[in-house]
Structure 1
Amino acid sequence: MSVQDRADLPAMKTNPKFIFFTDFDGTITLQDSNDYMTDNIGMGKPRRLELTRDILEDKVNFRDAFQEEMNSVTKPYNECIQYLVDNIKLDPHFAEFFQWSLENNIPVVVLSSGMEPIIKALLKALIGPDAEKMQVVGNFVGPRPGKSIDEEGGWTIVFKHPESGFGHDKSATLRAYSSLPADSRPTMFYAGDGVSDLSAARETDLLFAKKGHDLITYCAKENVPFTVFEDWSSILANCKEIVAGKSTVQDAIQKGRKDYESGAAGVVVPTTK
């Protein structure tokens, strides 16, 4: 069986030289849909920020913190989806990037710690029919005992990898591609912004980390190479240069390190004594 025919590697179907993997919430979109629900119709922002700090300080894993956040959202599931469709906005440059990727045989794969039905509904609303050309890999939704998901307190998140502290271990999908033979392995890009992207941060050739967000702090702390993006216009410009052979992944990583050290990455650089 050829690489292109492997059912577990759908992004290889067209034998691409590059694949772009990306987080969804707060990366493709301007707001994080799960944070938006938690802050506005769930536990509220102060408690959510406490949980985020606890994750970064290794006091709790992402899966358990996210479960607590989603448990606090009790609106019927269909109402949650409509609430998000009405309020979540797309990064203004993502549609241009996605069109370029389609024209250049660069599959886009969404890897999310959110829930697939929400993501697909939002992508369809924000991008239109072409959204179906994007593979979405995420968690799922299920009913609570004796309830329907479309009633008050009726739904719960169902994790793709319940045994993992991430709930959805994004690195598992990335490793399936990165372990391909060298003569068929594509160059792998990944874009993300927060704690749900920690498992993916080490598993790609070039990580785009969003300016001013938690992922940069983690990568700098753990010596994970990255470059900085502010919106998808900078991702598009970088990818065009690399695909055209005008720059390299290492060039982008070096710039990311300089941006971090100079403060241009939008996070506080720890002082050394």
Structure 2
Amino acid sequence: MRGAVLTLHSITSQYVPLTSLSTIRRTQGLPIVTMGSIELPYMQTNPKIIFFTDFDGTITLADSNDFLTDNLGYGREKRRQGNYDVLHGKASFRDAFRDMLDSVKTPFDKCIEILQENMKLDPHFIEFYYWAEENNVPIVVLSSGMKPIISALFESLLGHKPRSHLHIVSNDVESRDGKDINTVGGWKIKYHDDSHFGHDKSLEIKPYAALPEDKRPTLLYAGDGVSDLSAAAETDLLFAKKGHDLVTYCEREGMPFTTFESWETILDTTKDILSGKVSLKKVAEEGLKKVHEQGN
């Protein structure tokens, strides 16, 4: 769901206490490293960088949820009206997003098949994926989408199930009124938490951001929507997709960022950061300079 713009204050002020990180990770069967009472699964391999990222429109070239709604649900015009309502405070992102997905009555397994036929990864993400595996850089996908769809798309587009260095934290799917999800009208989105967006992405990052400086890895984030702001605020550098409102908001909020058009840029920059060739400050300064010279 793109184009729904909120202020940073409205995003960060509406979160409430939610399911603990440890509970979430246990359900995924991931190894866990602890520091005091905090469990840190992405520290298992003692990485120098952890790369957090949005999925739809960031890793993929198009938004899978928008595709379902536009082609199988109530259509593009009504979806855009929902975006407008969120923008002007007439509806919450959580309610508008549920409403648009509720309009999709196609059986869930068929939805996955259709998306597998139509969605594409940024071709340079695949290169980044293998480089990250070889260089001990965990990739953590933080998404407002549904995990079965994300997992299926990764499996079909990568050609194998995601390897252990890639983690998915997202919303899920559940039965509607006890129906089989693979029947007409049988499924609905199951939100990750009780936040305004249905998934407060910052919760996954905060325990790592709070680590002592001598133990804390560099935290990077890639995204394209304003809903990524709360997560990006917990990291050291944001890769904001060129041409999206997120760039404007980063400038306004004084967040360190650089822009990208494809994962080729992200890969090159992350390599330089890992090797020590460039500093985070220099990347952010050059990113801001480029935006001012070229426009976002």
State the alpha-carbon separation in 1 of the partners of residues 223 and 87 from structure 2.
Answer: 16
Identical columns (%): 53
Q: What are the superposed Cα offsets for residues 193-245 of structure 1, whole Å, 9 maximum, x if unpaired?
A: 11332321211111001011232233233333311000000001111111111
1:237 aligned to which of 264, 268, 280: 268
**CA RMSD of superposed structures (Å):** 2.0
Q: Deviations over 1:140-162 (max 9, x none)?
A: 1101113111111110001011x
Quote the Cα distance in structure 2 between the aligned partners of 1:13 and 1:4.
Answer: 11
Matches for 1:1-273 after TM superposition, within 5 Å: 3=34, 8-129=39-160, 131-133=162-164, 134-161=166-193, 163-265=194-296
* Partner Cα distance (2:49, 2:90) in 1: 37
Q: Which structure 1 residue ranges, 4+ long, deviate > 6 Å from structure 2?
A: 4-7
Q: Distance in 2 between matches of 1:51 and 1:219?
A: 24
Residue segments in structure 1 that go unaligned for 5+ positions in a row: 266-273
- Number of equivalent positions: 264
Cα distance, 1:50 vs. partner? Answer: 2.7
1-side partners of 2:55 and 2:86: how far apart?
19
Q: Secondary structure at the match of 1:184?
A: coil
Shift of 1:139: 0.5
Match of 2:16 in 1: none
State the SS of the aligned residue for 1:135: strand
Tell me by how many angstroms 1:55 deviates.
Answer: 3.1
Give the SS at the match of 2:100: helix
Q: Look up the SS of the partner of 1:132 in the other structure.
A: coil
- Whether contact under 8 Å (1:5, 1:13) holds in the other structure is no
Q: What is the TM-score normalised by the length of structure 2?
A: 0.84
State the shift of 1:249 in Å. Answer: 1.0
Q: For 2:181 and 2:38, how far apart are their aligned partners in 1?
A: 30
Question: Which amino acid is 1:121 matched to?
Answer: A
Question: Over residues 81-132 of structure 1, what are the superposed CA-to-partner deviations in whole Å (9 max), with x where a residue is unaligned?
Answer: 1110110001010111111111111111111010111100100111133613
| Distance of 1:14 and 1:4 partners within structure 2 | 14
Consecutive unaligned residues of structure 2, counting only runs of 5 or more, are: 1-31
Q: Secondary structure at the match of 1:199?
A: helix
